[in-house]
Structures are given as C-alpha cells and as structure tokens.
Amino acid sequence: MKLTRLLIAVTLLSRLSLQAQDTGTSAAPAPAPAAAPTGRNWTYGGVQVSGMVDAYYSLNFNHPATDRTDLHFFDVYANRVDLNMAKIGLDYGPNPVGFHLDAGFGEGFNAFHSFDPNRDLSGFHHIPQAYVSWKPKSGRGLEIDGGKFYTSAGAEVTESQLNWNYSRSLLFALGPFYHVGVRASMPITKSFTGGVQFVNGWNDLVDNNTGKTFGLNGTWTVGKVAWANSYYAGPEKTDTNKGWRHFYDTVVTIAESKTVTSYVNFDYGVDRNIGGGSNLFYGIATATRVALGNKFAISPRVEWYNDHDGFATGTPQKLKEFTFTGEYKIHDGIVSRLEFRRDWSDQPFFHRGNDEFVKNQTTVLVGLMAFFGPKQ
C-alpha cells in the first residue's frame, strides 16, 4: 500500500510537470552547483509555485537490522522503497517586500530536523523554509530575510534534483542544515557578494540558550570560477553561553567547459569545551559532473572526513567515501539516478546484520525525482 501511494504521488507530479511545460515559458538556471533541469515556471498573481516528489530504493549490502544506512542523508532507509520528500514551494520576489515558503512531508524532513532538540515543535518540521524578504529599491541590491532558511554553508543543497549525486556528502550530513534568524546579503562589486547573519544557531527552531550565532558569507565569481565562503560562530550548548562553536566552509566551483563542472569543498570546525579543550572535525570533498549529451550525466565524488574527537558521529574516527552517480533525464522535470557508494572508517562503525559492526558499507540506490518550477 505504501509503495502504491508513492507511485501515485510521483505520477501525479510528473503530469503536473508536463502540463507546466506547455505554457511556453522558459526555465531559469538552477543554482550552482546543480545541473539537473528544474522544469518550467508556474506563476499565479506574482507568486511563483514549485513542487517536487523524490523517491528511492536503496540496497545496503550490510543488511543492517536497524534498516538504516549509517551516515546517509537523505537516503536514510535501507533495503526498501521510500519517499524522501514531497514538497510545494511558494515564492514572491521582494518588491520591496516578499516571502518564501516551503512545506511538505517525507522521511527526508525527519532527517533534516533530526538534530533539532525541540521535539515538541515537530509540527513545524514540515516547513523546511519560511521567511519574509525586504529589498529596498534604493538599497543597491541589499536584501534582508527573516525567518527559517537553509544554511549558506556547503556544496550541496536539500533537494536531490539540485545536486549532482543523490546521496549527500559527509560534509553536508555532518554540518548545519538550517538556521532561524535574520540574514542580509548585498553585491559589493561586480564579482563579489557578501552577507551577514544573526541566527539562533544550528538546526534549532528555538534557541537552546540566550546567546546567538553570527555568520559571515561571501562569494567571488570570476569567469568560470566561483569561490564561496561561510563562517559561523556562537554558543551551541544547552542552557549556557560558554563553549563556542566555530565552523568554516569553503567551496570552489570550476566550470571547465559546457559539459564538465567540478567543485572542491573543505570544512573545518571546532567546538570548545566548557572546562577546557575542544572537539575538532574537518574534511574535504571533491566531485565532478560530466554531461553526456542532453539526457545522460555521470558524477563521481570522493571524500575524506576526520571526526577527531567523535563530536560529529559519536565515535573518534577517520572516514572516506566514494560515490559514482549516473543520471538519465526522462523528460524536462523528470530525472532518474543510479548510484553506487562505498563508505570506509578506521573504526568498526557501520551496522551489519543484527549485532555486528564493521569498517565499511556498500550501497546501490535507484532514485526518481519529478519536479516543476525553478525556485528552491
């Protein structure tokens, strides 16, 4: 029954995507580093409407009794068909006031909010983004957003079709997902856009202390190269403003040609202990997307991560992963992916069978995504 409902949902959204294409409007480019097509525009009364359904089947060769694949976001569940997420988005561009709202359901939203300590606010977990925007006409491009929004850090984003690989990297999975607060951005020069943020912290709808986290972000774009940087600093421990967490993320994206694009992503984090000492976590990932005509693409990804003190995963360990993703564009707004992934650790960390822990994990995944509207 669950599989039947899932297939019906994918079919219905696929039809909506095909109908939207008949309007004759053109698709806006997807945000970097995304390369998947984003369907056609639907606009009503100035409000741009977007939607997506994302489903997958993942085979975990460890066959864990937990039915969960360790360190995978958002392909969490193993050896079964699952609905990652179904989402509708509404966007009204600020002129000078606007808003953005995303709402939906699926196991991906549970993973997205899995680190949030506010379990009593679970109803809000169906809303990954909700913010108002102000862009004064005399502000030279200044835009201020207030509410809940995706993090500025990372080379990947929440929606599967906007990434090169279906599974998320370790750097994405073990970093911030979202923030609640205020952010401002502004083009400083033709090649640089900067921003500041004042937020509750990481992945919490309601702050767990009285302190606030400050963020700085900026992106340089010169020719075929884009260099994005994000830095967050603030107290993240419950009921105390001592022991700050510092996190730096940088991404260099290079468009080598019309068909080949690559990125390198580096993260470094330190969480200070109240009584002295600190927890370190850092890693690097690189990926390339190669378009093979209009229908096919391949995307290998390699990654190394050092959870030096076990802060991110609960176990002090060094991790590696290799992912190879093949993509086939069925139609504008309908994309399928076949993905192989291998994870390694220097510690017996990954579940296998009923009660065994091993140093590696291998998965094969098939994903299907249907979507319309470019705004995410």
Query: SS3 sequence, 87-103?
Result: EEEEEECCCCEEEEEEE
Cβ count within 10 A of residue 93: 15
pLDDT in the model for residue 4: 41
Q: Tell the residue number behind the tokens 């994005």, with chain if given.
A: 228
Cβ(174)–Cβ(284) below 8 Å: no
Residues 6+ apart with CB under 8 A from 30: 36, 37, 38, 162, 374, 376
In angstroms, the Cα distances linking 36 to 70, 102, 306, 372 are 26, 20, 30, 12
Tell me the sheet residues that pair with 46.
Answer: none
Closest by CA position to 90, among listed 104, 79, 75, 76: 104
Cβ(234)–Cβ(197) below 8 Å: no
Tell me the sheet residues that pair with 359.
Answer: none
* Sign of CA pseudo-dihedral 152, 157, 158, 159: positive
pLDDT in tens, the chain (376 residues): 443 444 334 333 333 333 333 333 333 333 345 444 444 668 888 899 999 999 999 999 999 999 999 999 899 999 999 999 999 999 999 999 999 999 999 999 988 988 887 766 767 889 999 999 999 999 999 999 999 999 999 999 999 999 999 999 999 999 999 999 999 999 999 999 999 999 999 999 889 899 999 999 999 999 999 999 999 999 999 999 999 999 999 999 999 999 999 999 999 999 999 988 999 999 999 999 999 999 999 999 999 999 999 999 999 999 999 999 999 999 999 999 999 999 999 999 999 999 899 999 999 999 999 999 864 4
DSSP SS3 for 223: coil
pLDDT in the model for residue 189: 97
SS (H, E, C) 360-371: EEEEEEEEEEEE
C-alpha 250/C-alpha 284 separation (Å) is: 10
The pair of three-digit structure tokens given for residue 322, joined into one six-digit string: 């290799």
